Chains A and B, each alone.
Chain A
Amino acid sequence: MNVLVYLVPMALALGLSGLFAFLWSVRTGQYDDLDGAAVRILDDGDLRDVS
């Protein structure tokens, strides 16, 4: 049972890292526009003039 002493904190740490990654993604606005990325390929604004 002593194995629990470090297995449980490890599991929690893994879970927490997932939570913080998610919170970070929310904070950087990655869920603000869920549909924009799909149509971004149609935007020509970033094309450089190659002529």
Chain B
Amino acid sequence: MIDTLERMGYGAHPFAVRGSEDEDKRAARQLLKYLAVAGFAAMNIMLLSVSVWSGNVTDITPETRDFFHWLSALIALPAAAYAGQPFFRSAWAALRSASVNMDVPISLGIVLALGLSVIETVNHAEHAYFDSAVMLLFFLLCGRYLDRAMRARTRAAAGNLAAYRAATAHKLDAKQQLVEVPAASLKPGDLIVVRPGDRVPADGNVVKGTSDIDENLITGETAGRSITPGMLIYAGSQNLSGALTLRITAAGERTLLDEIERLLDKAVVSKSRTVQLADAAARYYAPIVHTAAALTLAGWLLTGAGLHSAVVVAISVLIITCPCALALAVPAVQVVAAGRLFRSGIFLNAGDAIERLAEVDTVVFDKTGTLTLPELRVVNASAIDPAMLQAAARLALSSHHPLAAAVRRHHANGEPFPDAVEEPGQGIRTQVDGMELRLGSAAFCNVMVPEDLALEHDGASLIAFRCGKRSTVFAVHQALRSDAVDTVAALAALGIELHILSGDRSAAVEPLARELRIASWQAGMKPAEKVAVLEGLKARNRRVLMVGDGINDAPSLAAANVSMSPIGASDISQAHADAIFLGDRLQPVLTAVLIARYARRLMRQNLWLAVIYNAVAVPVAVAGMVTPLIAAAAMSGSSSLVTLNALRALSPAIQAARAENPVLPVKTL
């Protein structure tokens, strides 16, 4: 079909969607179905159970009770077999690899509760536990569904933003004509033209043209590199001044990423598996509970009770200890805290990122795009006559040059001068009321750059502006994020150790580190060296949070205990960061740490609540005094308590985290 379209003159290309999306959607639907079935079963069985409970103390006939129990069984057994699948599968997988997770006691509890209830029903007994088993299932599925919904929302946000950056390239076809094609369709050997301001879509050798390119996304280096024919340039760098013609050596991002990908694989494999709080609890929980049940069985047998009643009591111990509260304790807090982070403009990629964030005692920053804003700003704007700035900004509207973009953002409304002419590699000019306006290099505008300005803004790019007889010079620089100094100070006040690892020159890093009061900084770091530093920190038992954005940061993001990226980061960095934050501010890093710490405190409280609940309930069960009514009340009571406690993560107890954070829209794209 693509060929046919091509012959008809329409170039068509397969559009690659993120492959996992369909898979996710199917899993979410499946979970929703499980939830619906469990909910239906729980409600109807509860209806029947309440009748039985009230009947037991009044005048229910044994026949009616049996009828209700059989009806309950009819609903509960198929519903549990269907809706319990996620737990049974996970428990089975854990058992087969000879380990224990939270799903093992859950599955065991459900299966035993149902089995016992069927036996009791057959024996025309007063009590059956169908309601407990199905209600447990329903509560747990609720937790799972919320968890999944939260993560899906994060992914959707990240995916939408990535779509804005759909890359195209300008290819010279066989007839030497320029056609616009998707970057993904480029092949080695193709000739492409990269205009000033464009990102280079593929690695290639320069055939024609000279220019400066900005490679900061790849190396972290902010100073431009001069390019002449014959040089190799990499995908992701930005062409600053002149048009370049490239012959592609490798399509996609292969060659450049080869080393980085290898580093990534290693980092991901060697990443020490952090033991999650819930799993750690499960490891102690399951053996204790099972021993308690076994001891109960033995105890009742020794004291002369019949086998049947001893088994009933032992199983009731297992049912009452079925970790309803325990299984909700951690996920409930995670969901609420993740929602809170979401509203602060922080998206979580990994479900257990909150626990790892809470443990952080060292933060390592990349410089470019992380501590500084990803795009350029005019740093001396306040020293310039506003009228001149407006005129220059309006002229800059007609240019595609990235330096012009920095000036452009000072213009209030977007109405360009009608006939501005761009001189490639030099600047832009126009005539207004017989007056010549020029914006560009100092030579182009015939402006002398004051020496003190060049000294004051070391490392900045200077652009000149001439308006008739008047002239001025803008210093364009990557500015610090507006709240970087405060955020860094607040992190230091929390007792967190701070480092800067940058791929940039020391001359660019040093003044910035001084301004932020970060004593430990290293410049000119290659990706492998950054990883080595992180490994060194981890060897000292520090819990490292890496904040970075460039392609060169991706391995370090994977190597750190936990990582964050700003939304302007390269795709590969976003894929390896545990959390992504929006906006022009650095505040989210602090917010994330504070919310995570608060959430961990709530998780601990919840686990203790679950332990206390068990400490009260188990003796009652061991004594053989648990009826289905008590089991249901205890179970829903403890679950509600734990959920309510988790909701405290919504309360504005974290003062610093309340600073308003504009969540959307993201202007930087």
Contact = CB atoms under 8 A, between A and B. Distances in A.
Contact of B32 (A1, A11, A18, A26): A26
B71 A19 contact: no
B598 interface: no
Contacts of A46: none
B17 to A, nearest CB: 14
Contacts of B37: 19, 23
Nearest to A21: B36
Interface in B1-51: 25, 28-29, 32-33, 36-37, 40, 43-44, 47-48
Interface in B55-96: 61, 64, 67, 71, 75
Given A1-B61, A4-B67, A15-B44, A27 B36 contact: no
Contact of B29 (A8, A18, A26): A26
A11 B61 CA distance: 21
B61 A8 contact: no
Contacts of A6: none
Given A8-B71, A26-B33, A19 B25 contact: no
A31 B71 contact: no
A12 interface: yes
B61 A23 contact: no
A30 to B, nearest CB: 10
Interface string A10-50: 01100110110011001101011000000000000000000
Contacts of A16: 40
B535 to A, nearest CB: 42
B47 A11 contact: yes
Contact of A12 (B25, B36, B44): B44
A22 B44 contact: no
Contact of A19 (B40, B48, B61): B40
A1 B64 contact: yes
B280 to A, nearest CB: 34
A46 to B, nearest CB: 22
Contacts of B36: 19, 22-23, 26
A12 B88 CA distance: 27
Contacts of A31: 28-29, 32
Contacts of A1: 61, 64
A11 B33 CA distance: 21
A15 B38 CA distance: 12
A22 B32 CA distance: 10
Contacts of A26: 29, 32-33, 36
B564 to A, nearest CB: 25
B362 to A, nearest CB: 38
B29 A4 contact: no
Contacts of A22: 36
B25 A11 contact: no
A16 B79 CA distance: 12
A39 to B, nearest CB: 12
Nearest to B48: A8
Nearest to B67: A4
A49 B43 CA distance: 52
A27 B28 CA distance: 11
Nearest to B47: A11
Contacts of A11: 44, 47
Contacts of B75: 12
A4 B43 CA distance: 18
A8 B40 CA distance: 15
A22 B33 CA distance: 8
- Central interface residue in B36, B37, B61, by most chain A CB within 10 Å: B36
Contacts of A8: 48, 71
Contacts of B33: 23, 26
A31 B26 CA distance: 11
A4 B44 contact: no
A37 B612 CA distance: 46
Contact of B40 (A4, A15, A29): A15
A15 B48 CA distance: 13
A22 B40 CA distance: 10
B65 to A, nearest CB: 11
A3 B502 CA distance: 79
B40 A18 contact: yes
Contacts of A32: 25, 28-29
Contacts of A29: 29
- Central interface residue in A4, A11, A18, A19, by most chain B CB within 10 Å: A19
19 contacts: A1-B61, A1-B64, A4-B67, A11-B47, A12-B44, A15-B40, A15-B44, A18-B40, A19-B36, A19-B40, A23-B33, A26-B32, A26-B33, A26-B36, A27-B29, A31-B28, A31-B29, A32-B28, A32-B29
Given A11-B44, A27-B29, A32-B29, 16 more contacts: A1-B61, A1-B64, A4-B64, A4-B67, A11-B47, A12-B44, A12-B71, A12-B75, A15-B40, A18-B40, A19-B36, A19-B40, A23-B37, A26-B33, A26-B36, A32-B28
Interface of B: 25, 28-29, 32-33, 36-37, 40, 43-44, 47-48, 61, 64, 67, 71, 75
Interface of A: 1, 4, 8, 11-12, 15-16, 18-19, 22-23, 26-27, 29, 31-32
List 6 A-B pairs, minimum CB-CB distance, nearest first: A19-B40, A22-B36, A26-B32, A15-B44, A26-B29, A26-B33
